[in-house]
Amino acid sequence: MTRLEEILERGADADDVLRDVVDHLAGLPEIAWAGVSFREGEELVLGPQAGTADEARRVRTKIAYDGDDVGELAVDGAPSPELLERVAAAIAPYVLLGWDTGGEAWEP
């Protein structure tokens, strides 16, 4: 089992999972910084982040839940696009908890 899978399988609350995921990503040799932003209306609001930012090397990946844009995973470095897409898909349910649902109920 990979470290990412261990983090996701633990069943901790969403904030702890997302903090642990960005800490893990920022600890990879090819990534200097990682952060998760939540979609709030038309804006993205930065949430958990870790590492040392180097915005000149920033790569962004949309986080979608059930087809809805709920946030963004951003990293500074040179990760593989496959890694970012896999992580974004895996954390989508946790990002949804921070997403503005406009008062509508949702079920994970």
Class of domain 3-96: alpha beta
Stretch 14-41: mean pLDDT: 94
Q: What is the pLDDT of residue 23?
A: 97
CA 2 remoteness from chain centre: 17
E strand intervals along the chain = 31-40, 43-51, 58-65, 68-77
Residue bearing the bigger pLDDT, 30 or 8: 30
**Amino acid found at 6:** E
> Which of 5-9, 37-41, 101-105 is the least confident region?
101-105
* The pLDDT of residue 98 is above 70: no
Q: What does the alpha-carbon distance between residue 27 and residue 21 come to, in Å, rounded to a whole number?
A: 10
A 10 A CB-CB count for 55 gives 8
- List pLDDT tens digits, range 28-81: 999 999 999 999 888 999 999 999 999 999 999 999 999 999 999 999 999 999
**Amino acid found at 57:** R
Tokens of 55: 């915005």
The structure's pTM equals: 0.86
Residue among 47, 22, 44 nearest 33 (CA)? 22
Where along the chain do its domains lie?
3-96
Residue bearing the bigger pLDDT, 18 or 12: 18
Q: What percent of the chain has pLDDT over 90?
A: 71
Q: What is the pLDDT of residue 10?
A: 87
